[in-house]
A and B are shown apart, each in its own frame.
Chain A
């Protein structure tokens, strides 16, 4: 299983699409490693080289995260930058499934819970994930709090199996 948690990168916008996460021009790469420097490159007003970007291990964002293209390059570019968890108010179906299929975590939380997480956006926020008990804990200069989350049994099994290929090959 992958390891989850660490410094948080807050992306305070809804409908962040996969073209913004990894532009189509990099889809000619045939290795995941080559994607690494291009994470979130087309996201407007976003500083790719800021330390909080480079040190981030968790992304927190708003509604409909990862909409658009089916490209699994989107989870991969996060994976290559050691970001294995995305927490959002909602996801597009394909992006969400791609995350779990790669053994990564896409956690949906209600709008008010997401807003609470954003209140910790003081540059020091860290999130730990208790995968067994389905909770996350955020801590920052503003204090610390624990929030429960729900993922489907199937998605949990995919994370435990390290992804869908091994799960499916063993079963079908």
Chain B
């Protein structure tokens, strides 16, 4: 029978079906951060069940507020540290080695095609870029994941998106996913997996695929998913080289984690991006998306480049191409947060950090920070932020603030002008 990739993963990981349509899956990777995990730990302790199903399958990071900003966030970190030590969890990333979870864990090679991945974080869908089933879950599901290594899901439905056409100047993965969310609406993919296919996705880097999958949840999707291929192999090669004769063999092996021809999709959407403009959100919902030319001129107070959506090296490179040799508007606060220490180091080596600083940006340590309005750039009421993050909810980056979501390219030129600006009017400079 022809199966979708998600169906294959469900089939291979099925532990139990307690009721028709309810699939309890074995989980390969349980990821934890300091915001949603401490309450799970405390509850397990209170229940007398302070155990972990497999310390090697649990990956832990402190990333949302780091360094701790007050006593409460310090306590959250402490609960996590004590727990990690108590259970011999080796993969723990604390300050100095920590970064935004959905950038850090892939970079560490933790996610492989065909994996099941859960985390108490809605943007866990990012990891579907590797051909995995990766779902955000709440604290109770996390608790059970930690304790038993299982999680329950409904039968998966898959929405396939074919992205085709010529990628226009100034258009990046972020613009494409915003365009897709506009089409699907914020609830169009509820209880579904969004499969990204088509020639444009095929040519994309892993970073761009992660940007696509990252925002699947903004359309309500359970997971994003991409077909593993040579690009996936190249990215994972340092971690898998001992298991394969060469990259060709690895690519052939990964073929088993692809949707079969003739499999059953709940919906298929074709999108040709040839005539697409860069995209920007307005309002408080991620499906309120406009062409940049329709919102150009909107004044902003802050520009934020970072997060699990667009804080990777590729994103910083794109922004730097527009910023090189220029300085940002004196009316704007520019903040850039490289998503992991490796990204920071690579960007530094390539002169990108210098370009940001010369342009007048503040460079922060790797953290979620301003993305969820907890630290490192919270907005005042009435302020407007141009942001490469994934959520423009009311109050997201600070009570009474307004967030416009956009690509690193639009964010960079917006910083230069102090108002939302079309990057296609700018020349991109070569980085050395």
Contact = CB atoms under 8 A, between A and B. Distances in A.
A151 to B, nearest CB: 11
A66 B394 CA distance: 14
Contacts of B285: 15
Interface string B1-31: 0000000000000011011111010000000
Contact of B220 (A42, A92, A101): A92
B107 interface: no
Q: Which of the four size classes fits the interface of chain A?
A: 35 or more
Contacts of A29: 72
Contacts, number: 144
A70 B118 CA distance: 11
Interface residues of B, number: 58
B393 A94 contact: no
Contacts of A169: 49, 144, 147-148
B139 A72 contact: yes
B35 to A, nearest CB: 5
Interface string B72-113: 110110010000000000000000000000000000000000
A77 to B, nearest CB: 13
A66 B292 CA distance: 29
Given A23-B399, A98-B138, A168-B147, A69 B19 contact: no
Interface of A: 15, 17, 19-20, 23-25, 27-30, 32, 42, 44, 63-64, 67-72, 75, 90-94, 97-98, 101-102, 152-154, 157, 163-165, 168-169, 171-172
Contacts of A44: 394
Q: Which 3 A-B pairs have the closest CB atoms?
A: A98-B138, A101-B140, A72-B138
B187 interface: yes
Given A19-B391, A24-B372, A93-B191, A67 B220 contact: yes
Interface of B: 15-16, 18-22, 24, 35-36, 38-39, 42-43, 47, 49, 64-65, 70, 72-73, 75-76, 79, 120-122, 124, 136-141, 143-144, 147-148, 150, 152, 154, 186-187, 190-191, 217, 220, 222, 285, 372-374, 391, 393-396, 399
A27 B187 CA distance: 24
A97 B137 contact: yes
A25 B373 contact: yes
A165 B47 contact: yes
Given A23-B395, A98-B140, A153-B20, 7 more contacts: A19-B391, A68-B122, A68-B217, A94-B122, A94-B137, A101-B138, A154-B19
A22 to B, nearest CB: 11
Contacts of B139: 71-72, 98
Nearest to A23: B395
A30 B38 contact: yes
B157 to A, nearest CB: 11
A32 B47 CA distance: 16
A49 to B, nearest CB: 17
B137 A67 contact: no
Contacts of B35: 27-28, 71
A157 B19 contact: yes
B72 A24 contact: no
Interface centre among A17, A29, A94, A163 (most CB of B within 10 A): A94
A72 B395 contact: no
Given A27-B35, A28-B72, A152-B22, A172 B140 contact: no
A101 B393 CA distance: 25
Contacts of B20: 153
B374 A70 contact: no
A152 B18 CA distance: 11
A70 B120 contact: yes
Nearest to A32: B39
A120 to B, nearest CB: 25
A76 to B, nearest CB: 8
Interface centre among B22, B38, B140 (most CB of A within 10 A): B140
